Amino acid sequence: MKLNGPRIGLPTSLKSPRSGCGTFMPRKNVQILVIACVVCLLCAYRSSRYARVVTYALEQIEFKALEPKPARKLAEAAIRGMTEVLDPYSSYISEQDLPRFAEELDRQFGGVGIEIFVEPKTRKICVASPLPNTPAQRAGIRPGDIIIAINGESTEGLSLDQAAKKMRGEAGTEVTLTIQTPGEEKPRDVKLKREVIKAETVLGDSRNPDGSWNFVLEEYPDIGYVRLPTFAEDSDKRLREILEQLRKKNIRGLILDLRDDPGGRLEVAVAICDMFIKSGVIVTTRYRDGRIKARYTASGRPVCPDLPLVVLINRYSASASEIVAACLQDHQRAKVVGERSFGKGTVQELIQLEPGMGLLKLTTAAYWRPSGKNIHRMVGADESQEWGVKPDPGWEVPLEKEELETVLRYRALRDIYLPPGSPKPEGFDKIPENFRDRQLDRAVECLQQEIEAASRKEPPANRQLSTIASPVSTIAGISGIREGVG
């Protein structure tokens, strides 16, 4: 059998005994060297064999298929097919999909600033809220308006994603929305110039009249409340600004709400952990063979090292959310309240392929907690095994599906910015009159206990936020997706 692959020659100092010159190598060493060479050749052969099969298949399809496709499309399909047999988080990102991927990663895009939803009964595309200080808000578009057409094309039958894509485009270009306001007889055309829209990456409890967020709880103004819908590029910088604002308000404690946060950039998660702990490991990443890829440690310059803190998580808190919750829990820096997290503890590396061929998003490592425990839930792992982040004992607040949906609806409706005089959007009447977010209520209860315990240990002055420190150096990760914004 002929082996095709790299040729490996013997060392030049190895001579035949018959030549009468050179240095002899013991027979045992020669045997070991030969075996090593054969193994290397076989490994190279096995690898190149399947590469040749794929190449051959591509050639046959290209030359013989009754309905031929461009070689580029065939190559993209082959790469996509290979990633589909890997873990759920590995994928191929084609060149044409790169702009959307960048938008999802950093929550920044060219658009008009409208959050939209599909009205359940009519299936029409409706405005949930115009984002503050955007073309849509300045044009007078209001919650509840129906978007009948985009650039003259009917929106009937469009999904949220399809409608959002049509409204997005390069900043400076124009888009015309045909708007029907309930109660008005005729629709109107609204011409909007797209701008760079930066979706909000740090949210509070309620909106102020100007559309900005209030970062203390309405019922407990001495408790700070911050929600992270994702770990985007600027989430850590924005959080630092908010902590500085809260410092001036002399809050007594903070709730960091990571519920439904699918994750995001690794370096942002590391930077946020660094704001709360004084020293030690934040997170470790390991290759598939267990070797450590990287170890991230605290800078020693925390923003608020002693402020009582509670982290709120649920079954959809994943990836970067789990890194933060696990780090703060392992360092006994925060209590964790809610539900067990999702268990997505893997690192995706972005690999640039040949120019014009996009990116390979490949899972190459896993996250490990400071305690040395695994975060990732492997296929087949049950509830008894170590994965994800569990709430601290006594602070589990599981929700049934119906209650969870009500919480999500309640929060989504509270998040809508309503300009003065705007009617409440449809859906508020479906929230029970005395509805309570039980997980948030328990987080408040837990934090109050932490505040009381801290007050017995040290003077109140020592528990205030310290001077804002400079951010730690970071590396890139992968973000989650939020759809329905145009």
Catalytically active residues are 319, 330, 344
Starting at the edge strand found earlier in the chain, the sheet holding 309-313 runs 223-227, 253-257, 309-313, 335-338
Cα distance between residue 135 and residue 8, in whole Å: 66
Q: Phi and psi of 440, rounded to 5°?
A: -65, -40
- Whole-number Cα distances in Å, 149 to 146, 160, 297, 408: 9, 13, 52, 29
Cα distance between residue 145 and residue 153, in whole Å: 17
- Whole-number Cα distances in Å, 448 to 326, 392, 396, 443: 21, 15, 17, 9
Nearest to 381 by CA among 344, 336, 329, 347: 344
Helix 235-248 to helix 266-274 angle, to the nearest 10 degrees? 20
- Cβ burial of 228 (10 Å; 0-12, 13-18, 19+) is buried
Tokens of 34: 């030969």
- Find the farthest-apart pair of alpha carbons in the chain and give their distance in angstroms, rounded: 107
* CB distance 177 to 113 below 8 Å: no
Tokens of 351: 């690999």
Name, in order, each residue with C-beta under 8 angstroms of 448's C-beta and a sequence gap of 6 or more.
253
Half-sphere exposure of 335 (CA within 13 A, CB side): 24
Half-sphere exposure of 123 (CA within 13 A, CB side): 6
